Structure 1
């Protein structure tokens, strides 16, 4: 099986199923969440079947979707789904902040050190920027879900946070180029 197609299908298939049920059922989260959970679990099973492993990010995402989606269904309260991005972004920020105390180096260097070679100062700066970015995304998510409609939040979550993240990532290129080590 084509690995890039498999990755695309397992990453975006559950999201497509969510939108299908959300927009075809009067924008009802209670109707759209169960198929999202099932599709996410199926996607993880498919990845496991073909790859014999599940990468950490899809696994964490699947657990969180199942947990927060389950809480939303059980308590019939979408607030659990609204706060999921806030909690995830705060956890990422805290991992970047506290991680260096456990690894004695920036967490991003541990994660990306084989892909990018930077000076120690470069890793420190990049790690701090991403930490602040994740805290900023958490605050932004809180502002949006607390002040906007559910439909606006759903669209912002999918079509807003991704471009914001891509733009932020693009702005890190100059820092990376400035602190890049020649191999």
Structure 2
């Protein structure tokens, strides 16, 4: 349930995008993130740092997306968030007495310190690679959009109504850009969430192999 709760704004973004387009979806994601933070505070008088960081970045990049009518900002947001998380985990590997993943999980599981350090480093690499993967998926859209803007001289393009504004090659490019935008939105939900869930499952198997390593050996009497 917590896994789904963490992806609550992303799920609502996906639904709103399918119904109303990317700008309404961005506004919905910001509103749902506000609800997520407020609910945590009202229920527990505590807000998870991850939710606060995500809300702050979403507010900045989502706000710029809506204000400037430029979807580039919201498409960069997942990369910025994942790189920030990756850098935080990596910094905790060398700063402080315990890596971040150990501080988060040691109350419920006990494994040797070297296992915590390896797991923490793996989480850092996962977040960093996920950020680059998001850009890789979004880059095809950026390329086509740039070409279409150069061809038409427009700075803002309504990809939801390509046939109303373009003909011929321009229409084909607009439809291609819209398809690539949809591909990114699908990846944002199913790709990132699926990869994260798969990584968590692999982490559980890895921890299960070492969970008894930290227990003292029994003494035969």
- Report the TM range for the smaller structure's normalisation: 0.7 to 0.9
Cα pair distance change 1:83/1:127, threshold 3 Å? same
Inter-partner Cα distance in structure 1 for 2:125 and 2:57? 22
Question: Residue 52 of structure 2: which of 45, 51, 59 is its match?
Answer: 59
Cα pair distance change 1:11/1:102, threshold 3 Å? closer
Which residue pairs with 1:96 in the alignment? 89
Which residue pairs with 1:68 in the alignment? 61
For structure 2, the 5+ residue unaligned runs are 142-179, 217-221
Are 2:198 and 1:151 equivalent residues in the alignment?
A: no
TM-aligned CA deviation for residue 131 of structure 1: 1.5
Inter-partner Cα distance in structure 2 for 1:8 and 1:99? 23
Cα deviation digits, residues 27-86 of structure 1 (max 9, x gap): x21222223222322342233233322222222222222121001112221111111111
Cα pair distance change 1:74/1:109, threshold 3 Å? same
Inter-partner Cα distance in structure 1 for 2:203 and 2:16? 37
TM-aligned CA deviation for residue 17 of structure 1: 4.1
Cα pair distance change 1:110/1:46, threshold 3 Å? closer
Cα pair distance change 1:49/1:82, threshold 3 Å? same
After superposition, residues 84-163 of structure 1 pair within 5 angstroms as 84-147=77-140, 149-163=180-194
Question: After the TM superposition, which segments of 4 or more aligned residues of structure 1 sit over 6 Å from their partners?
Answer: 7-10
Inter-partner Cα distance in structure 1 for 2:124 and 2:47? 25
After superposition, residues 3-42 of structure 1 pair within 5 angstroms as 14-25=9-20, 28-42=21-35
CA contact (8 A) 1:87 1:138 kept: yes
Provide the alpha-carbon RMSD of the alignment.
Answer: 2.5
Cα pair distance change 1:94/1:72, threshold 3 Å? same
After superposition, residues 162-181 of structure 1 pair within 5 angstroms as 162-180=193-211, 181=214
SS at match of 1:101: coil
If the length of structure 1 is used for normalisation, what is the TM-score? Answer: 0.82
- Bigger Rg over Cα: 2
Higher mean alpha-carbon deviation, 15-24 vs 131-140, is at 15-24
Which residue pairs with 1:182 in the alignment? 215
SS at match of 1:54: coil
CA contact (8 A) 1:96 1:106 kept: yes
